[in-house]
Structure formats: C-alpha cells, structure tokens
Homo-oligomer: A and B are copies of this chain.
Amino acid sequence: MATEKTGLVPDVFERAAFVRTMAIELVDYGDGWCETSQRVLPGHRQQHGFAHAGVVMTIADHTCGGAATSVVRNDQDVITVENKTSFLRPAAGDVLHARATVLRAGKSLIFVEAEVTVERGDERVLAAKTSSTLAVIPRAR
C-alpha cells in the first residue's frame, strides 16, 4: 500500500517524457525499492542485435530514481548525481526487468543499486548491475 512517501513514485514515471518514449512501465514499489519492465523493440537495439547500453542504463537509472523517491519526503525530489553500470552479459531478449534497492538514504544523498535482467525463455538472466548516487532536492511546485 502506498504511504505518503511512496505515493510520489508513480508521479516520477508519469511526468518523465523519456520514460514514456521508451515505454518503461512501473511494475511495483515499496519503501526503498522499485521494479520496472520494458519491451525491447527493434528501434532499441545496437549493431549486434542486443538492447543498446543506453537503453539498459535508462531503465536502470529511472528505476534507481523510483527507489530513491520512495524514501524522500513529499516536498522533496531526487536527481541523479552519477551512475555506473557494468554490462555483465549481452541484453539479448525481448523484455528487460529492473529492480532497484536503496543501500543508504542520507539527508542529502541516496545510494541505490539496480539489477537489470533480460527474459530468455522462462528465465531471467542478469544483464547489468548499476551503482548510483542521487541527490535530494526540493520538489518544484
């Protein structure tokens, strides 16, 4: 059930145009975590036929933003300070899933990590792992 805090999470997905452009869907969220998924379309692939690194980093980053948003006050917002993503395996498949978890929520900085998996048949294979820092900022009216 959404709390005062976690109630801000859907908003972060609805108001971000690029997230709608990429058709990233908010799957579930709670206090300190967020899950998303996305169809990998032909226009999302790179020269080897896999999801482009930029596609993988986009879903990872925004899911980290969702998780960080779930732990701030409702007059606060978050913005990405830095994102490091390791590409463990080619994102070969048609659906990406991301799950982000808050490692540490400070007053001004939130440390989050995320896993991006790709559906291959019945299983989900770990394609990428992200480590990210976000800053807490005042929420614009």
Q: Identify the A interface with B (CB < 8 A).
A: 11-12, 15-22, 42-48, 52-55, 57-59, 61-62, 77, 79-90, 103-104, 108-109, 111, 113, 126, 129, 131, 133, 135, 140
List the number of copies, as a whole number.
4
Main secondary structure of the interface of A (DSSP, over half): mixed
Question: Nearest Cβ in chain B — how far from A51, in angstroms?
Answer: 8
The 5 closest A-B CB pairs, nearest first, are: A54-B58, A18-B52, A84-B84, A15-B47, A88-B104
When chains A and B are docked, how far (Å) is the Cα of A60 from the Cα of B20? 21
Which residues on B sit within 8 Å (CB–CB) of A42? 17
16 A–B pairs (Cβ distance < 8 Å), ordered by A: A16-B46, A17-B44, A18-B52, A19-B46, A48-B79, A54-B57, A54-B58, A80-B87, A81-B86, A81-B87, A82-B85, A82-B86, A84-B131, A86-B111, A88-B111, A131-B131
